[in-house]
Amino acid sequence: MSEAVGFVGLGHMGLPMAHNLLRAGYRLRVYNRTPAKAAALAEQGAELVGRPADVAAPGGIVITMVANDQALEAVTLGADGFGEQLGPGGVHLSMSTVSPAIAQRLAAHYQARGAAYVAAPVFGRPDAAAARKLWVCTSGPQAAKERVRPVLDALGQGIFDFGAAPEAAHVVKVAGNFLIVSAMEAMAEAFTLAEKHGIERGQIASMLAQTIFACPIYQNYGKMIAEETYAPAGFRLALGAKDLNLVLDAASTARVPMPFASLLHDRMLSALAKGRADMDWTAVGLAVSEDAGLK
């Protein structure tokens, strides 16, 4: 694989993704705010750089997997960002969970310079990233999507395309995350109801996950909520709260009432106020137990 790819953001998701690209034969140029996290990649042949701007080759591909809109703006349009470095033919492959608004802004920025923005947020936790089992949603210019397809094939188990609008895949991502948090709240309430009636939480969780809710969200998150295993975090609650803000912002822009999203937002806000930012986002279930007098 001769093409060099830039990679920005080596957190819980980005690091295993970068490892998989190296295993697939890509030459990687990587940047992370904390350089020590990139040491293992350097040992495998990745080139470490000191600024986001240095990851981009003219006309090349740069992947971002960062925490939020602010971090994405900093590494692209900031003083040391790569937004001016891609040049004609370049592709920014944006794989973070960010707002539709910043996707539109970056797409316009790149279009004026002959480059392209491809949204490619993913569903899956760090273990899925390591196993190349991510589900990828894409949107953006068709030619650019075709160019990055081999890269995405090295990272995930399936790609779903949502058209040309740069923000479309990000809307799908925040909608999906809303459904995940909704399921976590529902499971926490159901398991707590069972517990209050003397039924072991794991027993009902196991039965439901094998029968009428036999799908990964109920099987994996259900086990964590049933066992109340809220640390260490696979996905920090603080990031989950950020995603609920994105849901409500998108809903407000489109004038879509989402009362359940508002309830979930308050659950997240309460958890943050109680110092649970670094717990797994399934820790919204703790509030359900507390409300029932169990904690």
Residues tagged active-site: 173
Q: Is the dihedral of CA 22, 28, 31, 36 positive or negative?
A: positive
Name 289's Cβ contacts closer than 8 Å, sequence gap at least 6: 188, 192, 195, 228, 295
- CA gap 90, 86 in Å, rounded: 5
Which run of H or of E encompasses 72? helix 69-77
d(CA 249, CA 204): 35
Greatest alpha-carbon span in the chain: 65
Nearest to 291 by CA among 196, 182, 180, 178: 196
| Rounded-to-integer distance, Cα 264 and Cα 247, Å | 11
The answer to whether 294 and 193 are in contact (CB under 8 A) is: no
How many whole angstroms separate alpha carbon 83 and alpha carbon 6? 12
How far apart (Å, rounded) are the C-alpha atoms in residues 193 and 126? 31
DSSP letter (8 states) at residue 236: B
Alpha-carbon distance 196 to 191, whole Å?
Answer: 9
SS3 131: coil
- Half-sphere exposure of 260 toward its Cβ, with a 13 Å CA cutoff? 11
Mapped onto helix, strand or coil, the DSSP state of residue 223 is helix
**DSSP code, position 35:** G
